Structures are given as C-alpha cells and as structure tokens.
C-alpha cells in the first residue's frame, strides 16, 4: 500500500530530537540545509534517475554517465550554483565519473603544486571545463612505490621543452580515472631529467587529446583499461592506460612550486619540503575519510530499516514473528557499524580542520605539522576505508538473502566502495607510513622534543607504560578518562614493544621489514585512539536538542567498547586491563545495545537520505519492502517474456533427451 509508513511505530519510539541530530550529522545548520535542498533537487529531477543502471552494458552505461555529468554541469550553470552547491549536486547524483578526478585531483594538483602564474593560466580553463583533466601517477609496474615510477620528462634546452616518454611497457600509466576516454589533459608524474641527471618525480601538465576532435595527440596512446568488479558500479569510470612516445611540452608546463628548471636547464629546489609533491594525495586522503561516513551510513541505514521490517521465528499463538533487529546477535553486528558511521563523521570533521590548519601554515612557510598531517590522513584513510568496506559487506549479510539482490543497493555500494582500500594508497602501505612516524616519535622521546597533537600522549610514556585500569564495575567503562587512558596505554605499549624489537636489528630497514605486521597493528591502535578521542571531544561540546547528546554518548560507548572487545588481546596482552575488566566492558556494551535499540531507526533517519540517494528497496523510508521487491523482479529483462530466449536452442532439446532417457 502506497503512503503507509511501516516504520512509523519504530519512529515513535525515538527518545531524542531527530531534527537536531540531523544538524549534528551534517556538521552545521548551513550544511544540513544545503544537503537537504540539493539532495531533493537531484531526487526530483528525472535527468538523474538511476533506473536500470546495474543492467546496462558497459558502452551504454558509460554513455549514460557522460549524459548525466553533462546534464549536471548544465543544471549547475542554469541554477548558478556556487562551488559548494555544485560539489553537493555531484555527490547526490551518486555515480562515479571523470568529473570526480577533474575536480577532486586535477584542479587540486595544479592549485597545490603550480606557481601563481601557472594557476592563473590553467585554473580558469579547468573551472569552466574548457579542458578536462585527470591525475596520472600510477603505472602498470608501480603504484605504491611512487619513487619507482619510470615515465621520464627530459629537458631539451635547444627547444625549451620537456620530452615526456614511456621507456618500457611497465611505465605505461595505468588506472587514472577519467583518463581512458574523456580527459583532454593530465597532470602526469614523471622522473625529471636535466643535464643528464635524474631529479626524481615531478608533476607536468600534458595535453593528451585535441580540443577540436578529441583525437589523441601525436605520440599519445590512450584507452580504457577494461571492465572492473561489479555490475554498473565503478564501470561508469574510464580508468585509463596512457603511453608517451617522446611527446614535447613547453618547459612552463612543469608544475614549479616545489622545484624549477631554468631556461638553461638548471634544477632549482625551492625552500619548501619535497614532500609537498605528494600534497594532492594528502588532500584526497582527507576527503576519503569524510566520505567513509557517507558510504557506511548508507549501508547501515539500509540494514537497520530492513532489520526492523524483517521478522523471523518466535511467533506465538499466531502472532507476529520477532523483528530481526531484536536479536542480540544482529545488534552486535549492526549497532557498532551505526556507531562507527557517527565516529567516522566526527573524525572526518576534525581531519578537515587539521588539513585546513596545515594548509594555512604551509602558506606561511611553517612546515612543522606536515609529518603529523601525513600520518593522520594516511592512517585514518586506511582505518576508515577498511572498516567501511567490511561494514558494507556485513550490512549485506545482515539483510540475509535479499541483501544479495542488486535492488538492495548493497552490492553496488560495495563494488563502488571497496577500491577505496587500494586507491590513494594501499591501506597496508599507508599503515606502515604511520608506523614509521610512530617509531620516529618513540626514538625521539627523551631528546627534549615534546610530542604534540595526536602523539602528545607519548609525552606521558612513563605513566602509560605502567598504569593499570581502575575499572571496578561495568558502568566505570562509561568514564571518558578511563577509556582514553586504556586506548592510550594500549597504543603506547604496542609502539614501544615494536621499537624495542626493532632495536635488536643491526639494520633498521631489515628490522622494519621483518616486524611489519606488528608495526601495522601498532598503527591501527594509534589510529583507533584518534577516532575514540575525537568522538569523546565532540561530546564535550555544547550539543543542543532534547536527548541528542545522550544518544551520541551511547553511540560513542558502543564504538569504543566494541573495539575494546574485538581487540581485547591487545588490551590484555599489554597488561592494561584484566580479564575481569574485559568482561565488564562487554556487559556494558550489551547494556548500551538495549539503550540504542528504540532509537535505531531514528538514528539512521538523522542521515536524512532520500530514497533516490539510497537507491535500495530494503532501505526505503516507508519500509514497504515486500511489494516493491515483488514489483522490481518483474522489471528484470529475463521476465520480458514467459519463455526464455534460448528455450528452442537449449532447453527444449534437453527436455526431449530426458524424455528419451526416461523411456529407456
Ligand atoms: C552505489 C553507487 C555509489 C556511487 C558513489 C559515487 C561517487 C563517489 C565519488 C566520490 C567519493 C568522494 C570522495 C573521494 C574522492 C576521490 C576518490 C575518487 C577517486 C579515487 C581516486 C584515486 C586516485 C589515486 O589513487 S592517485 C594515486 C595514489 N597513489 C598513492 O597513494 C601512492 C602511495 N604511495 C605513496 O604515497 C608513497 O610512495 C609512500 C608510500 C608514502 C612512500 O613514499 P616515499 O617517497 O618512498 O617515502 P618514504 O617512506 O621514504 O618517506 C619519505 C618522507 O616523506 C614523508 N612522506 C611520504 N608521503 C608524504 C606525504 N604525502 N605528505 C607528507 N610527507 C610524506 C615520509 O613520512 C618520510 O618522512 P621522513 O623522512 O620520515 O620524515
Ligand atoms: C578504482 C581505482 C582508481 C584509481 N585511480 C587512480 C587515479 O586516478 N590516478 C592514479 O594515478 N592512480 C589511480 N589508482 C591506482 C592506485 O592508486 C594504486 O592501485 C594504489 O596506489 C595501489 O598501488 P598498487 O596497485 O601498485 O598496489 P601494490 O603496491 O602492487 O599492492 C599489491 C600488494 O602488495 C602490498 N605491498 C606493496 N608494497 C608493500 C610494502 N612496502 N610493504 C608491505 N606490503 C606492500 C600491498 O599491501 C598489496 O597487498 C586507482 C586504483 C583503483 C583501484
């Protein structure tokens, strides 16, 4: 029945002001109003329909994405949307496209690594989309190891040009999004060679295609790398391959903020750290952390609504069966994911602040916080994307068989999201960057250099190495100080243990390689401490709205107690807690599940997702799941006729043969 809200009873149970929670989730009233307005604008525009997208063959799917991206641009111009509004519109259109890389990496690379003059020349063209760009770093043979890239950019002083060349098959650029079929330009990362000397990697703006007929320019071989995981999903993106055969570009297309090559071919290093070459990656890792809460909350919203609709077992005297959300096992799998979505939201907000802060400092030539910004963006990108990808898959399982249908929205969400564990830095490689930062911090303790920011706790290392938890009863685990100390002691002890083991090796690099698995675990412990601390700090702010703060306290408790339970080996092994205290933590966790249960539906309503954005029959706002699943099945192309194509060729002969066999 249309118009009936099957989840109305659930919504009545809420013990908090959902509208105020929507504002907390969005980050501010301004953000809420912006998202609300733009998501509805997209949802109500048939030009952005998602109908049938998982059924389209690649070519049609891709063409449809081009149509949508162009239509989105047209609407952005017609409605005179600001940059912020336009970004929201692209977000709610919800289809990976070349525009993600144009706006998300090509433009930021020029902004971050181009001189003022270069920005003045290239940015207006890019802002008007008169050129379309991508970020071409990864090669067939090298992705994680950026210093190992092989493409060369050799300066020719005769002509004042760089010659861009792919010397080997493995030096072919491979993966850049938007490269295969759309981009006219790329920021290409290549080894800078001048006067016969290799100065390592630098960025260059290279035109790839004609702006007239879009044909690849002479010396450029470019195409798509082929079909990727999942139906529809990331196949809307033209991840590309690119080879250069001595392609010439003017010298001033080398991005020259970090280093320059003069007219005479002299290499000049600016007084900014070389690591700024990696700045675009730091920026994108930060946006990926913010995006993790979007993807996870989406999956959790679907699984929570469906868990309230779905009933199994327990019917008595012909009454209704039990809602699966009432099973403790379902709660133990679902509620920590709901809590994680909120936790990642808040750590994403904080990371954005940290990124803005480091950017302002860089502009004032203060590079002191760059290592911390790198460690935080790398570590939190790794932590949040791993948890989100795993969480989306868990949500699919939480929806039983129906979660496996594309109409649940979950398979596509997973297929689109899971490469986040790999792109912008493989998650293990990034954790090892955090571990290096931690080992450096431990080695400098006692040198007089005071650790600050997210590693300030290391400054209290003596206390953290010997303190013990003073939790005596389950509710003591609700005290923020008890929790923060537990996570700090665990992280500090794991780092110190790694440092002690490393010191046993004569060659530190050999030791690092041998102990890499332990080091990655220490990095996870440090990153989880950051997320827990930022959630707790958020709760120390003034949060208006009846019951809102209390719900966030419950979510925060679930987040850290679930982590404590899952990693109790670390907490017990480092000797900070006893097995009795671990068991009390688990008692408290169960109690928090019961407190959360009546609020579950309203907590996912607070994400304020339209049905268009969710694109899931199981996650419909009104909970009207079964009739809509039934209806959707009949839209499948296989159901266009009663008799399947292929019946006469394949099924009929088979049936005849069976008849003959039966007669024998
Ligand atoms: C259902 C439908 C749903 C539809 C959904 C629709 C749409 C979704 C759309 C958008 C989502 C929104 C947001 C997401 C945004 C964009 C995502 C979209 C697309 C994905 C694009 C992906 C693009 C890419 O992948 S680009 C390629 C990225 N490549 C990498 O990340 C390579 C990783 N490798 C490295 O970074 C480096 O090689 C390294 C591992 C760090 C090692 O570097 P190296 O120089 O060898 O360094 P070393 O370890 O020796 O360190 C030297 C020194 O430098 C310091 N360092 C290293 N890196 C940095 C840095 N980045 N910044 C600062 N400092 C750095 C390091 O610490 C060392 O310091 P020290 O000497 O120890 O002091
Ligand atoms: C969907 C998608 C979009 C992408 N978009 C772009 C783009 O727009 N532009 C671009 O330039 N690139 C892009 N990439 C490439 C991406 O950045 C790389 O794939 C990524 O950096 C990982 O590198 P890799 O593929 O070389 O993995 P590899 O490094 O080959 O990883 C393989 C395995 O080796 C392990 N490993 C590697 N090094 C170490 C180490 N030192 N210690 C321990 N383990 C290690 C990894 O953990 C992993 O398990 C994209 C990739 C994908 C999947």
- Tell the residue nearest (CA) to atom 47 of ligand 2: 428
| Phi–psi pair at 17, nearest 5 degrees | -85, 105
Across the range 68-93, mean pLDDT stands at 98
pLDDT band at residue 598 under the 50/70/90 scheme: very high
pLDDT at 658: 61
CA of residue 523 to ligand 2 center, whole Å: 19
Q: What pLDDT shows up at residue 231?
A: 82
What digits encode the pLDDT tens for the residues 273-310?
A: 999 999 999 999 999 999 999 999 999 999 999 999 99
**CB neighbour list of residue 67: distance below 8 Å, 6 or more residues apart:** none
Q: Residue 662: what pLDDT?
A: 56
* pLDDT, position 659: 57
Q: Evaluate: CB of 420 within 6 angstroms of ligand 1.
A: no
Tell me, rounded to whole angstroms, the distance of Cα 218 from its chain centroid. 37
Q: What share of the chain has pLDDT > 90, as a percent? A: 95
Where does ligand 2 bind, in terms of residues with CB under 6 Å? 101, 135-138, 143-144, 175-177, 234, 239, 419, 422-426, 428-429, 432, 516
Residue 397, both tokens? 């399982």
User: What does the pLDDT read at residue 318?
Assistant: 85
Contact 6, 624 (CB under 8 A): yes
Which ligand has the shortest distance to the CA of 422? 2
Q: Which residues are catalytic?
A: 424
Closest ligand to C-alpha of residue 367 is 1
Query: What number is the average pLDDT over the span 602-626?
Result: 98
Q: What would the mean pLDDT of 491-509 be, rounded to a whole number? A: 98
Element counts in the chain: helices (H) and strands (E): 24, 11
Distances in Å between the alpha carbon of 284 and those of 105, 135, 243, 321, 341?
A: 7, 12, 25, 47, 19
Distance CA 43, CA 65 (A): 16
Which atom of ligand 1 sits closest to the CA of residue 440? 72
Question: Closest-lying ligand to the alpha carbon of 430?
Answer: 1
**pLDDT score of 603 more than 90:** yes
Task: Report angle CA 416, 138, 141 to the nearest 5 degrees.
Answer: 110
Residue 37 has pLDDT above 90, yes or no: yes
Give 76's pLDDT tier (boundaries 50, 70, 90): very high
Give the Å distance between the CA of 286 and the centre of ligand 1. Answer: 10
Residues 558-586 have a mean pLDDT of 97
Q: Taking a C-beta distance cutoff of 8 angstroms, is the pair 482, 469 a contact?
A: yes
Q: How far is the CA of 404 from the centre of ligand 2 (A)?
A: 28
**Whole-number pLDDT of residue 2:** 60
Model confidence at 6: pLDDT above 70: yes
The whole-number pLDDT of residue 569 equals: 96
Q: How far apart are CA 609 and CA 298, in angstroms?
A: 8
Give alpha helix (H) positions in 445-541.
461-466, 480-502, 508-514, 516-539
pLDDT band at 3 (very low <50, low <70, confident <90, very high): confident
In whole angstroms, give the CA distance from residue 284 to residue 104: 7
Instruction: Decide the pairing of beta strands 197-207 and 185-194.
Output: antiparallel
pTM score of the predicted model: 0.97
CB 443 near ligand 1, within 6 Å: no
Q: How far, CA to CA in Å, does 430 sit from each of 364, 385, 421, 515, 660? A: 28, 12, 10, 15, 64
Beta bridge partners of 188: 136, 204
What is the pLDDT at residue 93? 98
Mean pLDDT score of the chain: 96
pLDDT in tens, 421-443: 999 999 999 999 999 999 999 99
As a whole number of angstroms, the distance between CA 334 and CA 628 comes to 24
Compute and round to an integer the Cα radius of gyration of the chain: 27
């Amino acid at each position: 029945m249309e118009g009936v809200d099957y989840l109305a009873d659930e919504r009545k149970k809420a013990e908090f002001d959902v509208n105020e929670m929507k504002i907390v989730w969005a980050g501010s009233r301004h953000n809420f109003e912006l998202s609300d307005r733009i998501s509805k604008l997209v949802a109500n525009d048939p030009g952005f329909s998602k109908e049938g997208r998982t059924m389209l063959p690649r070519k049609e799917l891709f063409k449809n994405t081009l149509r949508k991206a162009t239509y989105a641009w047209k609407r952005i111009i017609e409605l005179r949307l600001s940059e912020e509004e336009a970004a929201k519109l692209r977000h709610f259109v919800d289809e990976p496209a070349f525009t993600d890389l144009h706006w998300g990496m090509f433009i930021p690379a020029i902004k971050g690594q181009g001189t003022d003059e270069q920005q003045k020349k290239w940015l207006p063209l890019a802002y008007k989309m008169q050129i379309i760009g991508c970020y071409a770093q990864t090669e067939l043979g090298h992705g994680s190891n950026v210093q190992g890239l092989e493409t060369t950019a050799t300066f020719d002083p005769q002509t004042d040009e760089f010659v861009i060349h792919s010397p080997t098959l493995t030096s072919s650029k491979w993966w850049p999004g938007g490269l295969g079929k759309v981009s006219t330009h790329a920021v290409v990362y290549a080894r800078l060679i001048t006067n016969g000397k290799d100065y390592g990697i630098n960025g260059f703006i290279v035109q790839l295609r004609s702006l007239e007929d879009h044909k690849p320019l002479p010396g450029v071989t470019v195409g798509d790398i082929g079909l990727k995981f999942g139906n529809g999903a990331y196949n809307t993106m033209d991840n590309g391959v690119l080879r250069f055969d001595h392609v010439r570009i003017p010298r001033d297309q080398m991005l020259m903020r970090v280093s320059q090559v003069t007219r005479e071919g002299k290499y000049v290093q600016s007084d900014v750290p070389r690591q700024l070459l990696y700045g675009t990656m730091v920026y994108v890792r930060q946006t990926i952390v913010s995006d993790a809460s979007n993807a996870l909350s989406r999956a959790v919203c679907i699984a929570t609504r469906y868990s309230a609709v779905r009933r199994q077992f327990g019917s008595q005297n012909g009454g209704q069966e039990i809602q699966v959300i009432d099973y403790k096992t379902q709660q133990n799998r679902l509620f920590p994911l709901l809590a994680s979505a909120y936790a990642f939201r808040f750590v994403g907000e904080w990371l954005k602040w940290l990124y803005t802060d480091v950017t302002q400092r860089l502009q004032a030539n203060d590079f002191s916080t760059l290592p911390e910004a790198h460690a935080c963006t790398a570590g939190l990108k790794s932590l949040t994307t791993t948890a989100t990808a795993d969480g989306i898959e868990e949500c699919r399982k939480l929806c039983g068989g129906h979660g496996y249908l594309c109409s649940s929205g979950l398979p596509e969400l997973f297929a689109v999201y899971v490469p986040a564990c790999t792109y912008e830095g493989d998650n293990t490689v990034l954790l090892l960057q955090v571990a290096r930062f931690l080992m450096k911090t431990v080695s400098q303790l006692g040198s007089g250099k005071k650790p600050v920011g997210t590693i300030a706790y290391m400054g209290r290392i003596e206390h953290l190495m010997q303190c013990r938890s003073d939790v005596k009863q389950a509710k003591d685990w609700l005290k923020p100080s008890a929790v923060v100390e537990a996570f700090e002691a665990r992280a500090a002890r794991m780092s110190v243990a790694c440092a002690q083991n490393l010191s046993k090796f004569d060659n530190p690099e050999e030791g690092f390689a041998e102990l890499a698995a332990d080091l990655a675990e220490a990095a996870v412990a440090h990153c989880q401490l950051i997320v827990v601390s930022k959630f707790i700090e958020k709760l120390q702010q003034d949060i208006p709205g009846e019951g809102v703060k209390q719900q966030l306290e419950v979510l925060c408790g679930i987040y850290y107690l679930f982590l404590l339970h899952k990693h109790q080996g670390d907490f017990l092994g480092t000797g900070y807690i006893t097995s009795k205290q671990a068991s009390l933590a688990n008692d408290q966790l169960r109690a928090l599940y019961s407190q959360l249960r009546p609020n579950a539906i309203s907590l996912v309503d607070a994400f304020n997702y339209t049905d268009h954005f969710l694109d899931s029959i199981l996650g419909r706002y009104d909970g009207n799941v079964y009739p809509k699943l039934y209806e959707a099945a009949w839209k499948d192309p296989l159901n266009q006729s009663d008799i399947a194509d292929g019946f006469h060729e394949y099924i009929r002969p088979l049936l005849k043969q069976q008849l003959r066999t039966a007669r024998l």
